[in-house]
């Protein structure tokens, strides 16, 4: 059975076609710069990469290009081979406790949450509608970043603000990267041979979040109402005193919206270092002895360690810390310094293993708390959800 996993952004469309339940990737790719004359369609098939430049003015054209490419390159013989399409949707609010088979009502509910994810949900809906038109007889499933975190209890997800804000406007912590945290924590439990494992997942990329998973369920996570809360990221500030917005807006004659935009797009690694939001550039700058590069790295490491310590206490112990996503999987310096920062928990780094890539344990065998690199696979989780709902 072939299932297509889709992640639609405002100007991009990522896709991956799987054979299920084997979870074998047949093809993956991305359409970049949608809405521009110089858009690119990229297919990766059997280790080969194919790039085509086109004018792609909207998501409907992008979807048509993807489908045309699958047929033209003989990835599929006909559209009948695709039995399901799974769509990543960033914000499910409290309306969606699990993935949902898409119909007009589900699309309307996703749209009703646009205020909570104004940059993401509208783009996700655009991708959904384009695929519904292109493949009208195929089951389509919405898989939400937030549903894995719906198991958090009130003490974890509520803010200490007027309760009426939660009642009226849904002001609470929702968390994100749920499919990644679920995949990695499940894999960690398998490796440990322990279903009731207490695991902390550090999803570290340009966007980054930490999640505490107990007995297979998310009990707390660092991102909040939006992906701005939590640890510093590539361009996001992470936690900050809200009074900063009033101070900076008055001093620089900017609106709250403009200051908030800077906290989202000009802070984190970029804001502290002054030159890059890329972890690789930050590490290179550290190695050149640049203080602000070291500062950007060290502030993030310190905040990650803060969350790990907090979640250790909240869960009443810890079996493993798992590093995943672009930085988590590929930056040994970040993993090294985080593990050194939480050494008191009973974890020792295996330097040799830490300098390798791929799934592996990077703590010493006698460490009380284990540390792993576990490459994430959000697309597989999306496909699993499609299969699960098809089999209901």
Which residues carry out catalysis? 145
- What are the Cα distances from residue 242, in Å, to 108, 239, 257, 260? 32, 9, 13, 10
State the burial class of residue 66 (Cβ atoms within 10 Å of its Cβ: 0-12, 13-18, 19+). buried
For 137, the enclosing helix (H) or strand (E) is none
Cβ neighbors of 4 (< 8 A, separation 6 or more) are 15, 16, 17, 18, 82, 84, 85, 86
Closest CA relative to residue 176, chosen from 129, 120, 127, 260: 120
Sign of the C-alpha dihedral, residues 83, 86, 92, 98? positive
CA gap 199, 7 in Å, rounded: 27
Q: Please, which residues bridge with residue 143 across strands?
A: 88
* Of residues 225, 223, 228, 232, the one with CA closest to residue 245: 228
- State CA 313 to chain mean position distance: 25
The tokens for 229 are 């809360």
Q: Mapping DSSP to helix (H, G, I), strand (E, B) and coil, where does residue 239 land?
A: coil
Closest CA to 328 of 236, 240, 233: 233
């Amino acid at each position: 059975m072939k299932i297509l996993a889709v992640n639609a952004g405002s100007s991009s469309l990522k896709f991956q076609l799987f054979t299920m339940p084997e979870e074998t990737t047949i093809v993956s790719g991305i359409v970049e710069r949608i809405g521009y004359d110089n858009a690119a369609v990229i297919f990766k098939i059997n280790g080969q990469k194919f790039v085509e430049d086109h004018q792609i003015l909207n998501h409907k054209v992008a979807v048509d290009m993807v489908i045309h490419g699958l047929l033209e390159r003989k990835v599929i013989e006909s559209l009948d081979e695709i039995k399901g399409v799974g769509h990543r949707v960033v914000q499910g609010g409290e309306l969606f406790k699990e993935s949902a088979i898409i119909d007009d009502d589900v699309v309307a509910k996703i749209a009703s949450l646009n205020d909570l994810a104004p940059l993401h949900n509208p783009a996700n809906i655009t991708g959904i509608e384009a695929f519904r038109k292109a493949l009208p007889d195929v089951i389509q499933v919405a898989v939400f970043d937030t549903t894995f975190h719906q198991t958090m209890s009130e003490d974890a997800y509520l803010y200490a603000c007027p309760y009426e804000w939660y009642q009226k406007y849904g002001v609470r912590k929702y968390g994100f990267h749920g499919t990644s945290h679920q995949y990695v924590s499940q894999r960690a439990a398998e490796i440990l041979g322990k279903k009731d494992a207490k695991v902390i997942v550090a999803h570290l990329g340009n966007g980054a979040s930490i999640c505490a998973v107990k007995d297979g369920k998310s009990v707390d996570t660092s991102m909040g109402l939006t992906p701005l809360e939590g640890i510093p990221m590539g361009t996001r500030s992470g936690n900050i005193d809200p009074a900063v917005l009033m101070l900076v807006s008055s001093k620089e004659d900017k609106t709250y919206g403009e200051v908030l935009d800077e906290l989202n797009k000009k802070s984190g690694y970029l804001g502290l270092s002054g030159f890059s939001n890329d972890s690789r550039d930050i590490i290179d700058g550290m190695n050149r002895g640049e203080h602000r590069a070291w500062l950007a790295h060290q502030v993030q490491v310190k905040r990650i360690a803060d969350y790990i310590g907090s979640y250790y206490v909240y869960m009443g112990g810890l079996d493993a810390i798992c590093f995943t996503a672009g930085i988590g999987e590929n930056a040994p310096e970040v993993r090294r310094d985080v593990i050194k920062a939480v050494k008191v928990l009973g974890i020792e780094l295996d330097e040799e293993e830490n300098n390798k890539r791929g799934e592996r344990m990077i703590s010493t065998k006698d460490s009380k708390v284990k540390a792993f690199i576990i490459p994430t696979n959000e697309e597989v989780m999306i496909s699993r959800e499609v299969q699960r709902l098809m089999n209901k």
